[in-house]
Amino acid sequence: MKRILLSVAVAALFLVSCDKDNDDPTLKPTAENLSGNISTDMTLDASITYTLTGTVKILNGGKLRIPAGTVIKAEKGFDKYILVEQGGQIFVNGTADKPVKMTSAAATPAPGDWGGLIINGKAKISGPSGTTPTGTTEINPEVPYGGSDDADNSGTLQYLILEYTGAKSSANIEHNGLTLNAVGSGTIIENIYIPYTADDGIEFFGGTVNVKNLLVVNSDDDMFDGTQGWRGTLDNAYGVWGTTFTSDEEDPRGIEFDGNLDGNTPADINQSNGTFKNITIVSKAANIEMQDAVKIRRGATATITNLLIKGTKFTDLIDLTDGKGTANVATNISYKKDVTTISGKELNNTGVTGATVTANTTNTGANTSVFAWTGFTDF
């Protein structure tokens, strides 16, 4: 395969075709700047530290392969992000010894410096009966997601660090660390570290993708967020606020889980029905109260096992209520608490009949040993 130049100056260079006479599968860019569209099969070079100078879109049929040890530093700005469109694929091939890092290029990096990573798939999202609902990407409404292929494959993310993400253009248009829009179960996402994001650590908008071994540190809003019909599994996830953490958000939470988008279409089919297992939510923050450790609402069904909640200040520990609809009655939660202060209710289930919430003193939460590769130690 031909070695191809990636350049910010001319986005068309992303479109260079492969040379069939060259069997070398590694594409070796000779420029350090990344921006533009990818429509071919391209591989970065781990020996180069790249600068994300604009938006990178992986188009339908395009593939971006990122080898172990690669570092990408994003310039500051809302338009600095990587977006995998429907039919595109990304392969982040980090290892425990050589993770892939996507970070800020700022001399003094801070949450919200750049956008983060967005993946759009073709799996089902919630919507009206008799339709194949689709949505549009929050940060770019020209890019759709959703469909009927729950096994859709958008690639692989392994041993990836995403830090200082969450840039926003307004209070309602903002990036997360990792945004998964209708991503299908054929996509593999494991061993992800998301520290210091200005919005959610991870957010699922529909789809069936599963995520395993996720560490979120000091997310300004929710640690783990799902909505619009997500029906996958989050396995072994640890979310933590440090002692000096503060937030600009109105209602930061550990888990926030909605059945349909914003609670505006309660009659939707394919509403969220997610599984959370081996989860730890920790707040060590001295000067801020976590709104809810767990908020299940707006028709969502959650099955949560081996949940451990630890820390200082919480409003409600587990809340199944909301003005736009409560949790689905099939919700089943097993939790253990080790907390100092709950100013509201340990369980707020007013008006919710049938949901099962059980305190279990044997719960251990996430296995933190699998996060040794991140270098984070303040568990």
Look at residue 355 and tell me if it is in a domain: yes
The string of pLDDT tens digits covering residues 157-212 is 999 999 999 999 887 789 999 999 999 999 999 999 999 999 999 999 999 999 99
Query: Across the chain, what does the average pLDDT equal?
Result: 92
Look at residue 369 and tell me if it is in a domain: yes
pLDDT at 24: 38
pLDDT at 172: 78
| pLDDT, mean of residues 289-314 | 98
The answer to whether the Cα torsion of 180, 185, 188, 193 is positive or negative is positive
The answer to whether the Cα torsion of 316, 199, 264, 233 is positive or negative is negative
| pLDDT, mean of residues 141-168 | 98
Look at residue 6 and tell me if it is in a domain: no
Look at residue 330 and tell me if it is in a domain: yes
Number of helices (H), then strands (E), belonging to the chain: the values are 0, 27
Look at residue 16 and tell me if it is in a domain: yes
Please tell me the pTM assigned to this model.
Answer: 0.93
- 3-state class of 76 per DSSP? coil
Closest CA to 219 of 189, 244, 237, 194: 194
pLDDT at 170: 82
Look at residue 124 and tell me if it is in a domain: yes
- How many structural domains compose the chain? 1
Say if residue 28's pLDDT is above 60.
no
DSSP line for 269-284: BS--EEEEEEEEEEE-
Confidence of residue 228 (pLDDT cuts 50, 70, 90): very high
Q: Pairing mode, if any, of strands 140-145 and 135-137?
A: antiparallel
pLDDT at 324: 97
Residues of the chain with pLDDT > 90: what percent?
A: 89
Structural domain harbouring 56: 11-374
- Read off φ and ψ for residue 122, nearest 5 degrees: -115, 15
Say if residue 222's pLDDT is above 50.
yes
| pLDDT, mean of residues 248-256 | 95
Which comes out higher in pLDDT, residue 24 or 267?
267
pLDDT at 31: 64
Return the ∠ at Cα 50 (arms to 11 and 122), rounded to 5°: 60
Confidence of residue 277 (pLDDT cuts 50, 70, 90): very high
Under 8 Å CB-to-CB from 246, ≥6 apart: which residues? 285, 287, 288
Look at residue 165 and tell me if it is in a domain: yes
Say if residue 145's pLDDT is above 90.
yes
**In whole angstroms, what is the distance from residue 285 CA to residue 214 CA?**
21
DSSP bridge pairs for 104: 74
Look at residue 2 and tell me if it is in a domain: no
Half-sphere exposure of 221 (CA within 13 A, CB side): 23
Long-range contacts of 29-32 (CB under 8 A, 24+ apart): 29/3, 29/4, 29/5, 30/3, 30/5, 31/5, 31/6, 31/7
Confidence of residue 18 (pLDDT cuts 50, 70, 90): very low
